[in-house]
Amino acid sequence: MLVLGMMSGTSADGIDVALARISSAPPHVDAKLLGHTSFSIPPPLRKEILRVAEQQPITAGALSQLNFRLGETFADAAIAACRKLRISPRRVSLIGSHGQTIFHQGRAAAAYLGTPTASTLQIGEASIIAAHTGITTVGDFRPADIAMDGQGAPLVPYVDYLLYRHAKIGRVSLNLGGIANITVLPRAAKPRQVFAFDTGPANMLIDALVSHFTHGRQRYDKNAVLAAQGRSLPELLNELLHDPYLKLAPPKSTGREYYGHAYLKNLFVLGRRYRAKPNDLIRAATIFTALSVVDALNRFVLPKTDIRQLIVSGGGAHNPLILAQLSAVLPGIEVLPSSRLGIPEDAKEAYAFALLAYESFHRRPANLPSATGARGPAILGKISYAPPR
């Protein structure tokens, strides 16, 4: 099958699209990435997504409209990707769309109407994508895992296992999107030995600071130019490293609900306390991203698993300061971009949802209970069939 995978991350800065040719079945799925591209989300739409993801009030009607409007945007991205990758949509058998997360609470910690409830909500209506593209679409991947008492995240570890498991080398796959997450693949790992979790923020805090201080003229710190101009403030960094989330044992997941507006306000308070200039705060957030990953490895991974390679993907893989920090404080572990293993850094997650959709279409489970905490396997996603031709 030819499958399109589509991903919009926590930062809602764009839609990544990957085209894959996939055949066979686990444990020997034959998958090849044929191309990838990305498209910006229109600024007014992105602004509303971020507003709602920050838990600002919205009516049921407006949320319904946003869901369908974003579905149209995803459909447009799929059609544009086919054009750019020179493939007729009629040749594409399936789309896997992660959608846009606007709420995620993987643990049933907070009571809702008197009962502890876990839930997740991704929008970008898959039926609209299927209708507008003429391609059967799988969406809404996370709820099936939460229904099995899992965290609903991370889901990419199943794909990491297919792509990166090695008979002789222990590896960790690190994705630096809005949130940083790792998949731990012990040497010659079996599926039940793989575990994964979100380590903390990645680009989310850095991007928010850059956008704030440049009044929206810049959306991210390209090549860490701004962070490189900042001073190191060890006391401020030490306070960040006392973040309670870092100490939570996996399985665990997080998102904008925790590292969003309220966290940013606290960061500004710390900045004033330590007389940090804008670039000082950007530098602190950048180094915090790297050191929170290191903290997670030292706390939960390295004491029990021999790791030789750290494979980095996502937008943060292009940040030289993050990569330098990781290399400096992880002796004996080779830090390498995922492109060295054939998967471009910016294509990894979209490619993953192509593979997850392929498994869903064939009614095969694609969660890893050892990663999400689910009590068993789950067939992920909901299928929206294309209209009859």
Q: DSSP H helical segments within 134-202, as ranges?
A: 143-147, 157-164
Q: Is the pLDDT of residue 108 over 90?
A: no
Identity of the amino acid at 257? E
pLDDT at 110 over 90: no
Average pLDDT of span 258-278: 95
Please give the pLDDT value at position 9: 86
On whether the pTM is more than 0.85, the answer is yes
Those residues whose C-beta lies under 8 Å from the C-beta of residue 190, and which sit 6 or more positions away, are none
User: For residue 358, what pLDDT is reported?
Assistant: 98
Q: Which of 311, 316, 334 minimizes the C-alpha distance to 156? A: 311
For residue range 173-221, what is the model confidence (pLDDT) as tens digits?
A: 999 999 999 999 999 999 999 999 999 999 999 999 999 999 989 989 9
Rounded Cα distance, 10 and 333, in Å: 28
Q: What pLDDT digit, counting tens, does each position of 286-327 carry? A: 999 999 999 999 999 999 999 999 999 999 999 999 999 999
Average pLDDT over residues 131-137: 98
Handedness of CA 338, 176, 290, 302 (dihedral sign): negative
Per-residue pLDDT, 389: 81
Q: What is the pLDDT of residue 46?
A: 94
